[in-house]
Amino acid sequence: MPTLSEAFVDSLAPNAAAVKNGWGLVKKNQFITLYKSEDGSVLFGECKGSGKNNYLTSVDFFNETPVARCTCPSRQFPCKHSLGLMYCFVQGADFSIAPIPEEIVEKREKSAQRLEKKKEQKSIPKKVNKTALAKKITAQIEGLSVLERQIHHLLRSGLATIDAKKLKDLEDIAKQLGNYYLKEVQHDLREMILLWHEDLPEDPLYSLAFEQIQQLYVLCKKGKQHLTKRLEDQELLPEVETDIEERLGHIWQLADLRDRHLSIPNVKLVQLSFYSTKSGARKEFIEEGIWLDLNKGSLYYTKNFRPFRAVKQIKEGNSIFSIVSMNELFVYPGEGTPRIRFEEYQFEKIEDLKHIKTLAKQNVEEVVKKVRNQLRQSLADKQPIEFLAFSKLGKVNGKWMLEGMDGSRLTLSDEFGKNPTTMPLLDLLSNKDLENNAMLVRFHHDLENGILAAKPLTIVTSNRMIRLLG
């Protein structure tokens, strides 16, 4: 059984409401009985429910990932009753020792059999229907050609000619891209279309639209080249050096990442930032966490997509204020800051913030140079993240600046038209927070001033982590 902490239980909850409701059961003394097995691997008990019968709830720790079960009708796992059971344990409630119920023993045996079967399946090489895959790739090439022709037409006529009719034509093209297995390209095109619904002034509208059209054009060109080359490969293997596959809609399975040696053993991470955005183009909530590797000092990010129509069925991400340790970390292909995923993990208390500070990059001038080079690449992330050491934060001519340990300066500003803002929070910090610390920033092109700037996300001092966003 892992060491249970409130943070660990919070991380298991499907959403914030489940956490609140779980604690509500504890505070209202809704649990009639509380039991644990002799070896501590199972917690179980009875909780008052909305009906005449009590709910029987349990949490089984026979594997690294706890398995929650309950007789309540909820379709969320763990439900509020299972969470409340664990919160009772975390709070130090008295759990009587009792034999594991027969029903749990039977389900445990079935789970063990399923796990064994999964291990056997992992050892069997995955068969790929190459004929079907070749047809899919051919369809993707055709879809990119359709979009490329539309982009040529747009550029010839000019962005100023885009009206309601042209926006409708573009939306029709976006719908077609789904039939060509180009879901991600479809989302990119819809992001551009939505710019015309945001009531932006002409200059930033055309600037943002042209940047997105340029990205779409390069993606069409490079995507077709890549897919044509892949068709010529007898094995039809996906690319792992860049994120081109993901941009074209490929969904990486953990088994695929493991087979391509894209996993790292024994990693400890600390989350530096977490935030959720609402994407109208995707019709999804996108939750992004930014993480720091405590051994290498590398930055990573996680992404969780929750479609509007299934928001209650998909686990909601959350801010984590503990060290997360795992036996295996999966790294997605790509350049810049890699996307990661992990399945089984444990929490540890953050003891040494000074060590985290030492992992920040000391030379701001070198970082800015690297970012500028990255931004020149059409398909690169246009908002790269960096963890920078600074000697001072302060205002110069009314504008916030970060001064690095090397003496070079970087302008700090919020992104144009994007919420939430973080700059106003800098005025609330003490002088100690503004000197000789480290800051997580997200670079962006400041449209108002025409310069490269950075949005402050988190400040790490020797004794606290100040999250300005998430």
Angle CA 306–127–327, to nearest 5: 55
- Counting Cα atoms < 13 Å in the Cβ hemisphere of 29 gives 1
The yes-or-no answer to whether 256-351 and 360-467 have a common fold is: yes
3-state secondary structure of 390: strand
CA 222 to chain centre: 26
| CA separation for the pair 447, 418 (Å, rounded) | 12
Strand-strand pairing, 323-331 and 346-348 = antiparallel
Q: What pLDDT was estimated at residue 114?
A: 81
Tokens of 329: 């970390």
Residue with tokens 């029903």: 103
The whole model's pTM is what?
0.86
Question: 256-351 in CATH: which number?
Answer: 2.40.50
Whole-angstrom distance, CA of residue 220 vs CA of residue 226 = 10
* SS3 track for 1-21: CCCCCHHHHHHHCCCHHHHHH
Helix (H) or strand (E) holding 138: helix 130-157
Cis bond upstream, residue 420 (ω within 30): yes
From CA 236, how far away is CA 228, in angstroms rounded?
Answer: 10
pLDDT score, position 6:
92
Say which residues have a Cβ less than 8 Å from residue 361's Cβ, sequence separation at least 6: 367, 386, 387, 388, 389
pLDDT < 70 stretches in the chain:
1-2, 119-125, 417, 447-448
Strands (E), 13-64: 31-36, 42-47, 55-60
Strands (E), 280-423: 284-293, 299-307, 323-331, 340-341, 346-348, 385-396, 399-404, 409-411
The confidence score (pLDDT) of residue 113 equals 83
What the block records as the tokens of 242 is 């860049």
Q: Which residue has the tokens 């110069």?
A: 396
Task: Return the structure tokens found at 331.
Answer: 């790294």
Structure token pair of residue 297: 């000092």
Residue 249 structure tokens = 């809609």
Cβ–Cβ under 8 Å, residues 59 and 66: yes
360-467: CATH topology: OB fold (Dihydrolipoamide Acetyltransferase, E2P) (2.40.50)
β-bridge partners, 56 = 46
Give the separation between CA 69 and CA 45, rounded to whole angstroms.
11
Q: Are strands 31-36 and 96-97 parallel, antiparallel or unpaired?
A: parallel
Whether the ω angle into residue 78 lies within 30 degrees of 0, i.e. cis, is: yes
How far is 313 from 291, CA to CA, in rounded Å? 25
**Distance of alpha carbon 86 from alpha carbon 311, whole angstroms:** 24
178 token code pair: 């789904």
pLDDT of residue 378: 84
- Specify the pairing of strand 323-331 against strand 409-411: unpaired
DSSP tag of 127 = P
Sign of CA dihedral 252, 257, 258, 260: positive
Structure tokens at 196: 């015309």
Domain boundaries, the chain: 6-123, 130-245, 256-351, 360-467
Answer yes or no: are the C-beta atoms of 28 and 370 closer than 8 Å: no
117's tokens: 């079967």
- Burial of residue 87 (number of CB atoms within 10 Å: 0-12, 13-18, 19+): buried
- CA–CA separation, 213 and 152 (whole Å): 10
CB atoms within 10 A of CB 357: 17
CA distance 195 to 214: 15
β-bridge mates for residue 445, sequence order: 452
